[in-house]
């Protein structure tokens, strides 16, 4: 055992120098790690276009039910109106307008098919009523 005084500025266990391209990781503090929230980080919400979705639904249902008297045409017209308003609001708010455009197309097709079917029924009915 030596009788020399202990010098605190001199390290007791000298560390070998680290290689040039490698940095030693920072020491981790003792204790429990900081709590992390469960799941994924929240995603910022984009503005929604409810009227565009409603226009799409009514236009599509109007197109599917265009053969039902007055019902398909009425749903098609409602789809056209709601989709038109949905496109305007979507452009103003920065929301997506894809479903609103699809609803506008479906609504227009529903009304056109209903008009063609009405013309066909009137044509057939007029042939039966004028036959001798």
Assigned domain for 105 exists: yes
Assigned domain for 7 exists: no
Assigned domain for 72 exists: yes
117 Cβ contact list (under 8 Å, min separation 6)? 66, 67
Number of domains present in the structure of the chain? 1
**Minimal CA–CA distance to 59: which of 23, 17, 108, 117?**
108
What are the tens digits of pLDDT across the range 71-130?
A: 999 999 999 999 999 999 999 998 999 999 999 999 999 999 999 999 999 999 888 876
Q: What pTM does this model have?
A: 0.64
- Look at residue 45 in the predicted model and tell me its pLDDT: 81
Q: What is the dihedral of CA 122, 128, 130, 132, to 10 degrees?
A: 180
Whether 65 shows a pLDDT value over 60: the answer reads yes
Assigned domain for 38 exists: no
- Look at residue 100 in the predicted model and tell me its pLDDT: 95
Domain of residue 105 covers: 50-127
């Amino acid at each position: 055992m030596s009788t020399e005084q202990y010098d605190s500025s001199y390290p007791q266990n000298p560390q070998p120098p680290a290689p040039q391209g490698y940095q030693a990781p920072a020491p981790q503090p003792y204790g429990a790690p900081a709590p992390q929230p469960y799941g994924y980080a929240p995603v910022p919400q984009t503005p929604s276009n409810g009227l565009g979705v409603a226009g799409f639904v009514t236009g599509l249902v109007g197109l599917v039910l265009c053969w039902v008297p007055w019902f398909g045409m009425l749903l098609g017209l409602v789809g056209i109106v709601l989709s038109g308003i949905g496109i305007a609001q979507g452009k103003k708010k920065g929301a997506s307008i894809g479903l609103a455009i699809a609803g506008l197309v479906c609504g227009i097709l529903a009304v056109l098919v209903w008009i063609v079917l009405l013309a066909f029924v009137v044509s057939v009915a007029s042939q039966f009523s004028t036959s001798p």
